Amino acid sequence: MSPPPDTHFYASTYTDPHTGDVSALSELPLDLQAITASVRDDGAGAICSFTGTTRDSFEGKRVLRLSYESYTPLCLKTFSTTLLRARSRWPDLKKLALHHRLGNVPVGEASIVVAVSSAHRRASFEACEWVLEEVKREAQVWKREEYAEEGEGVWKENFGRGMERGVVRGDRVGEKGGRT
């Protein structure tokens, strides 16, 4: 998909020179197939991906769109560090990709894609979820929900009050991303 002429879109990508892992921020729609294909590896027996999309409602309010902002240089560094940390936790990972959308994301479109390949499925599943939770806890990305019922949007926390996360490789992530 190409942007229309005379339209400027922001995108920034970092590819780790040692691992080939890709971290990206973009105002363009995320290409789910291309991101998943980017982690294919002949030594991989599994590819796991997660796509977070904008849903149409939250707590009874109609959501029009999400809007994301980022401190890009630090965010890409955080993404890259997160992927390296995943590699240290699951040594048989082959390739990783982490892409996050910036700007306005309409209902039904992807905000984030995490894709992981590994020799075996368990590592792929666990690492994919762990990367997502670490990004929500650590990354310098801010989300604003815009509702049909309100004139202005609401800035949201990545780990909101009362939200509980599941167990990921023995680490329980609790309220506001704190380890419990």
pLDDT for 43 = 97
- Strands in 110-118's sheet, in edge-to-edge order, are 11-15, 22-26, 93-101, 110-118, 46-53
* Distance from C-alpha of 31 to C-alpha of 28, rounded to nearest angstrom: 9
Count of residues for the chain?
A: 180
Q: Are strands 22-26 and 93-101 parallel, antiparallel or unpaired?
A: parallel
pTM, full prediction: 0.82
- Convert the pLDDT of each residue in 31-78 to its tens digit: 999 999 999 999 999 999 999 999 999 888 899 999 999 999 999 999
pLDDT for 168 = 37
Angle between the N-to-C axes of helices 121-138 and 72-89, in degrees from 0 to 180, rounded to the nearest 10: 150
- Convert the pLDDT of each residue in 2-38 to its tens digit: 544 444 556 899 999 999 999 999 999 999 999 999 9
Max CA separation in the chain (angstroms): 51
Q: How many C-beta atoms surround the C-beta of residue 1 within 10 A?
A: 5
pLDDT for 163 = 37
Mean pLDDT for 147-170 is 58
Mean pLDDT for 91-101 is 97
The beta strand positions in the chain, using DSSP E, are: 11-15, 22-26, 46-53, 57-58, 61-70, 93-101, 103-106, 110-118, 141-147, 154-156, 167-168, 171-172
- Convert the pLDDT of each residue in 106-142 to its tens digit: 999 999 999 999 999 999 999 999 999 999 999 999 9
In the three-class reduction of DSSP (H, G, I as helix; E, B as strand; rest coil), residue 116 is classed as: strand
pLDDT for 149 = 81
